Amino acid sequence: MADIPTFKLSDGNDIPSLGFGTFQIPADGSTYDAVKMALKLGYRHIDTAVAYFNEQEVGKAVKDSGIPRDQIWITSKIWLQDHKYEDAKKAINLSLKKLDTDYIDLYLIHQPYGAVDEAWQAMEEAQKAGKIRSIGVSNMSVKIWNNFVPKFATKPVINQVQFNPYYQEKEIRKVMAENHCTLEAYSPLGTGNKDLLNEPILTTMAEKYGKNTGQIILRFIHQEGVIVFPKSVHEARIKSNMEIFDFELTSDEMDAIRGLNKGESGHDSDAPGMGEMLMKAYDVHAND
């Protein structure tokens, strides 16, 4: 089993370039089983969030895996319900408790609305205290980035956004490159978009390399220097999503996939009322 390569973040930390996503995996034992399986198969990077309601099962799976904690990268995210400074401090401690760990490797602002600056201050302090190793953001467009990040004392090392061959985030990537911020891709396979998975360019490459189209997409994203964490609860798929390090796309093939960019996204961070809508979407403290 090949080791998963790491990317160096601008704060000096090394993050596994391929991880395992847990969005929409229920906390009914399914998250525990899926994470345990992923770790057994060789994943060392697990992505969760307060608003996924499964931090506890992620923490238990990490604990029960028998793998030393310092060999597993755990990401979680604060929900916008907790952006006020005092709430953010409590939220970080609650994430640590639920994950049953002394530190979180990466903590992100999940949705950049409301008192983002207060949440960021609490995250900076938690980082200085050793509770968090790296801090970053998620779903930040250019407009939102320019509104908040210039005022931050510490720059985000990660912006986690929707990214796949149909939506390649060209504008925000320019801003991030200037700020030495690494992109993390969610929905890398277009959330099962059949058009994407049947693109002739991708199916031809899959045939050439003896891979499936999902593996071609994941390899493309990796070669773009983007961290990626596909999600699945099926062992065969979890395993095949890792098998992208034994081949390399040519520069012409990379250019061909770049040409698939449509510039559309299923998530428009700048849509009016997005913050209010998301605030109503979840109550992350309903069961505390």
Mean pLDDT of 163-192: 93
Out of 102-116, 125-139, 152-166, 252-266, least confident range: 252-266
Query: Catalytic site residue 209?
Result: no
Helix axes 200-209, 251-258, angle to 10 degrees: 150
CA atoms within a 13 Å half-sphere pointing along the CA-CB vector of 222: 25
**What does the pLDDT average to over 197-211?**
97
Residue 1's pLDDT is 47
CATH number at residue 147: 3.20.20.100
Of all helices (H) and strands (E), which one includes residue 274? Answer: helix 274-281
| Coil, helix or strand at residue 211 | coil
Q: What is the mean pLDDT of the chain?
A: 95
Question: Total domain count for the chain?
Answer: 1
Listed in sequence order, the residues at least 6 apart from 155 whose beta carbon sits closer than 8 Å to its beta carbon are 10, 149, 179, 180, 181
123: domain range?
Answer: 6-263
* In-domain check, residue 268: no
Q: When comparing pLDDT for 264 and 261, which is higher?
A: 261
In a domain, residue 117? The reply is yes
Q: pLDDT, tens digit, for every residue of 15-26?
A: 999 999 999 999
Q: Is the pLDDT of residue 88 over 50?
A: yes
Instruction: Examine residue 276 and state whether it is found in any structural domain, yes or no.
Output: no
Residue 139 and residue 112 in contact, taking contact as beta carbons nearer than 8 Å: yes
- Predicted local confidence at residue 149, as pLDDT: 97
Q: Let me know if residue 284 belongs to a domain.
A: no
Report yes or no on 28 lying in a domain: yes
pLDDT of residue 85: 98
State yes or no: pLDDT of 283 exceeds 60. yes
Q: Which of the four pLDDT bands, split at 50, 70 and 90, describes residue 2?
A: low
Q: Is residue 58 part of a domain?
A: yes
Report how far residue 108's alpha carbon sits from residue 31's, in angstroms, rounded to the nearest whole number.
Answer: 20
Q: What mean pLDDT do residues 65-75 have?
A: 97
- Per the CB < 8 A criterion, the answer to whether 130 and 96 are in contact is no
Per the domain annotation, does 48 fall within a domain? yes
Instruction: Judge whether residue 265 has pLDDT over 80.
Output: no
pLDDT tens digits along 29-45: 999 999 999 999 999 99
pLDDT score for 193: 85
If we measure between CA atoms, which residue out of 68, 72, 143 comes closest to residue 112?
143
| Catalytically annotated residue among 43, 52, 166, 167 | 52
Domain presence at residue 239: yes
**The overall pTM is greater than 0.85:** yes
pLDDT of residue 191: 77
Q: Give the pLDDT of residue 206.
A: 98
- Compute φ and ψ for 179, nearest 5 degrees: -105, 10
